[in-house]
A and B are shown apart, each in its own frame.
Chain A
Amino acid sequence: MHAFANPARFLGLARPLTPWLFWGGVALIVAGCLCGLLVTPADYLQGESVRILYIHVPAAWLGMGGWTALAVAALVQMVWRHPLAGVAGRAIAVPGALFTAICLATGSIWGRPTWGTWWEWDGRMTSMLVLLFLYFGYIALSRASADQAGGMGDNGGVSRVTAIFALVGAINLPIINRSVVWWNSLHQGPSITMRGSTIDMAILWPLGLTVLGFSLWFGAIVLMRMRTILAENKVEARMARMAREGGVQ
């Protein structure tokens, strides 16, 4: 892991990986969405609206997976002081928030024809909304700490307080996961578990394509955002050095 503490070595891997992840992800997303919209049958109970599954589930997976990655990055930053951990945290936050918002929006749209309501203040939806607010908090804190550090600093521009916020916010993840078991909810119980799936294979299979596709795409976006932060930091450092040298002369 520390082999990639050197940004030059990290960029040597990230540059060729970014287009592969991006276009591989896009191809799988397009294939999965087309199969989900045109090939799979309608559900006997939910009818055609079941097709929202192929975008709602990857969005939920990436919203929660994004915060898991943020918490891991915060832990790596605090324990091993890895300089790229903070950069990764900052790069993950915005796409993570986007997918949490997409999960809430598509869930709400799916709820109208199946439950008869756009929104219900139950455990699953409320805890997912809390996750979105946690992302907003992290984005605000990390921007403030990056501004204060004048770029990356020693910790990728993410202060200790911001990293602790990411770790504490991870408490919400098991709450989201277990909310449909702990409380009465309009939302269905867990359909896909370690023991298998309650969804028929005829409907389930394109979900694998979209989950993998959106995950690869998410990885590409995180790499692009990390590359942006590293390049901006390089520019700021060089401008500061030029200003110092200009001041000395």
Chain B
Amino acid sequence: MNHWPFIIAAYAITLAGAGAMSWASWRAMRSAETRADALRRDR
């Protein structure tokens, strides 16, 4: 049995999950901190 398709699938799932989590967390942080800074400036 060729093991490489299994290895590629496992790495792809891990890196896709970690990449999506990084992107979502960074975007949420940027957007929340930008809104907080904008409100502070408007005060």
Contact = CB atoms under 8 A, between A and B. Distances in A.
Chains A and B belong together in one complex: yes
Interface of A: 22, 29, 33, 37, 47-49, 51-52, 55-56, 59, 94-95, 98, 101-102, 105-106, 109-110, 112-113, 214, 217, 221, 224-225, 227-228, 231-232, 234-235, 238-239
Contacts of A231: 29, 32-33, 35-36
Contacts, number: 86
Nearest to B39: A238
Contacts of A234: 36, 39
Interface in B8-43: 9-11, 13-14, 17-18, 21-22, 25-26, 28-29, 32-33, 35-36, 39-40, 43
**Interface residues of B, dominant DSSP:** helix
A52 B22 contact: no
Given A52-B7, A224-B29, A231-B33, A22 B17 contact: no
Interface of B: 1, 3-4, 6-7, 9-11, 13-14, 17-18, 21-22, 25-26, 28-29, 32-33, 35-36, 39-40, 43
A56 B10 contact: yes
Contacts of A33: 11
A67 B4 CA distance: 32
A97 B29 CA distance: 19
A101 B40 CA distance: 39
A38 to B, nearest CB: 12
Contacts of B26: 224
Tell me the dominant secondary structure on chain A's binding face.
helix
Contacts of A239: 39
Contacts of B25: 95, 221, 224-225, 228
Given A113-B1, A224-B26, A235-B39, A51 B33 contact: no
B27 to A, nearest CB: 9
B39 A102 contact: no
23 contacts: A48-B3, A48-B4, A49-B7, A52-B6, A98-B17, A101-B17, A102-B13, A102-B17, A105-B10, A113-B3, A214-B18, A217-B18, A221-B22, A224-B29, A225-B25, A225-B29, A227-B29, A227-B33, A228-B28, A228-B29, A232-B32, A235-B35, A238-B43
